[in-house]
Structure formats: structure tokens, C-alpha cells
Amino acid sequence: MPHAKRIAEFLLDIGAVKLSPQEPFTWTSGLKSPIYCDNRMVYSHPQARTFVVKALAERVRALHIPPDVIAGTATAAIGWAALVADKLDLPFVYVRAKSKEHGMGKQIEGDLPRGRHVVVVEDLLSTGGSAAATVQALRGEGQCVVTDVVSIMSYEFIAAREKAMELAVHLHPLTTVTTLLDVAQEQGRLSPSDVRDVVQFVREPERWR
């Protein structure tokens, strides 16, 4: 991950990642967390956005199988996937969290012929649930081949690795929570005890506090 540290610096500097072990955030899932990441913030910062798109595209180019199509998970990764597809001059589709209840009832939006090799672009990997649902939709409704998920960041949860193993896909985050913690500590944003607190959350998110 040659760009890991620089991307971590961008995320911290622009406020996309916030670290607050003493006053935890509440995620949509209900989890109490000492860290919160909103990669949509990066869209508003051209230097960081350009760097991230270039890094995502380079990671896709380096995969063992060249993709035919780039797919984004709705909604946070739609923009990232579209930017990467444009940079690589590849077709783009996005996958809804669930099928539409009207029209043709599709879950996959865009022109996706069967049998294509698709790379999924995610903005953030936590439990891996949205990435897994996207892969399953592409393999099911799309009848496509999916072997890789590229993301901006990963919380490095065991649950995400387990889902990836079950689905036989490889996860390729540009940066990780471990790198973020290293950078945050270097910059004096976190004390050693705060770092230990976040590490404990990553190891056991459901039991943390």
C-alpha cells in the first residue's frame, strides 16, 4: 500500500476521519465507536480527491485480472467508482442496497452484459456487509465474475475478512485504521492510551464499552 500514509494524512487533515475515544460516536448500526470516517468529505477537496482517484485506479490496474467494468456500491461509493471508471476508460455501473420496488425492479443500474469481470469500488470497509451484498448482486442478477473489492479505507474488522473469505473475494484497501492511528499519533492527535482504546474497538467492536 504505497499511498497508505499520504491518504491517512489527507483524511485526518480535512476532517474526513475523526477520532474521539473519550466521547464515542454512534454508528447507524448502533455501535459505539471511538472513530468515525466520512470519505464523502474528500469529494470537496480537489487535491485529496485527485490523489485518491489516482491511487484507486492504480490499484485496479495492478489486479491479477483486468476488469471489464467498474461497479460502485450505493450510495457513498458511486462517485468514486464513476471517477475511477472514467480514468480507466471503462464502463460503470452501481448497485443499490436493494432492488427497486417499481419499474423493472433492478438492483444494478447501468448496462451490464452477463459474464463480465467486475471490480467493486467501496469507499469504506467496516463489517463488509455492503461490499458483500454488492458482490452477491453482481454475481446473481448480473451473472458476472467478481474477485476483487478496492476501497479507500478499511477498519480491519475480522467480520469483513470472514465475509471476503466466504465469497472468495480479495479486499484491497488503500489505507487502514492501523495506518491512521500511526499517523494520528505522530501528529499528536492521540495519546498512546487513546490508540490502545481504538485498537481494542477494532478487535471487538460489539463489546467495546
- Whole-angstrom Cα distance, residue 53 to residue 85? 10
- Whole-angstrom Cα distance, residue 206 to residue 10? 28
- Whole-angstrom Cα distance, residue 126 to residue 159? 8
Instruction: Name the DSSP letter for residue 35.
Output: E
In this predicted model, what pLDDT tens digit does every residue of 116-139 receive, in sequence order? 999 999 999 999 999 999 999 999
Q: What is the mean pLDDT of residues 9-30?
A: 91
In this predicted model, what pLDDT tens digit does every residue of 57-78 receive, in sequence order? 999 999 999 999 999 999 999 9
Grid cell, residue 161, equals: 475478512
In this predicted model, what pLDDT tens digit does every residue of 152-207 receive, in sequence order? 999 999 999 999 999 999 999 999 999 999 999 999 998 899 899 999 999 999 98
Which residues, 6 or more positions from 63, have their beta carbon under 8 angstroms from its beta carbon?
119, 148, 150, 172
**pTM reported for the whole predicted model:** 0.94
Grid cell, residue 202, equals: 477494532
Confidence of residue 103 (pLDDT cuts 50, 70, 90): low
- Whole-angstrom Cα distance, residue 209 to residue 195? 15
CATH fold, domain 4-203, is: Rossmann fold (3.40.50)
